[in-house]
Chains A and B, each alone.
Chain A
Amino acid sequence: MVKKQPKIKLYTLSTCSHCLRTKKFFKDNGIEAELTDVDLLTGDEREKVMAEVRKLNPDCTFPTICIDDKVVVGFNEERIRKALGE
């Protein structure tokens, strides 16, 4: 049976090396994820996204990784794999 692909959202900064590693991890593993570089957003769009980040991670740090209903803060491969159910 094919495992259902979880819904994954990555909240990142375009300048952050931990965020780059996070994006690379998902890309290299062929895992589809929705990417948002918050530093590239402005005005209302940024406010809307930061409100989402705050709900998931009240510290508002990056990367904030949302895998279905699980949240991983920072690039921690072990915790990401666990959240992916591997």
Chain B
Amino acid sequence: MTAEQLYPILSKYAESQGIRLNKDREFVMDILRGLLTNEARYGYRSCPCRLAWGTKEQDADIICPCVYRDPDIKEYGSCYCELYVSAEWNEGNSEHRQVPERRPKEKRKML
């Protein structure tokens, strides 16, 4: 699977969820390449913006789409990576803020 092949699949999926992929395609392609790198590295699509533990059990909450995506979109208009966004965010009708890390500290790979 290449990032080019993954793009239409995730785009369709996002729309089915009532959200969108970030309209900055170049930015999204970088994220998709990161996701596929992590899939090859760990065997699952761990969030490319977070340091993974490398075991599925410990990274379950950050396998994309992460469990923090929906609350982040609700509060900030985008997920932590800015891959998934609300339609309003994409149209520039809501402020683009840096999304703070919602993953609890004890679940993060700190060392």
A74 touches B108 (CB 8 A): no
Closest B residue, CB atoms, query A54: B110
Closest A residue, CB atoms, query B37: A15
A13 at interface (Cβ–Cβ under 8 A)?
yes
Q: Which secondary structure dominates where chain B touches chain A? A: loop
A76 at interface (Cβ–Cβ under 8 A)?
yes
With most chain B CB atoms within 10 A of its CB, the pick from A14, A18, A47 is A18
A18 touches B110 (CB 8 A): no
A-B contact count (CB 8 A): 55
| Complex interface residues of chain A between 37 and 61 (CB less than 8 A to chain B) | 38-39, 46-47, 50-51, 54, 59-61
Q: List 26 A-B contacts (CB under 8 A).
A: A13-B34, A13-B49, A15-B34, A15-B37, A15-B38, A16-B34, A16-B49, A17-B28, A17-B31, A17-B34, A17-B48, A17-B81, A17-B82, A18-B49, A18-B81, A18-B82, A19-B49, A46-B111, A50-B111, A51-B111, A54-B110, A59-B101, A60-B110, A61-B101, A62-B49, A76-B98
Q: A17-B30, A38-B51, A39-B52 are in contact. List 7 more A-B contacts (CB 8 A).
A: A13-B50, A17-B27, A17-B49, A21-B27, A46-B111, A51-B111, A60-B110
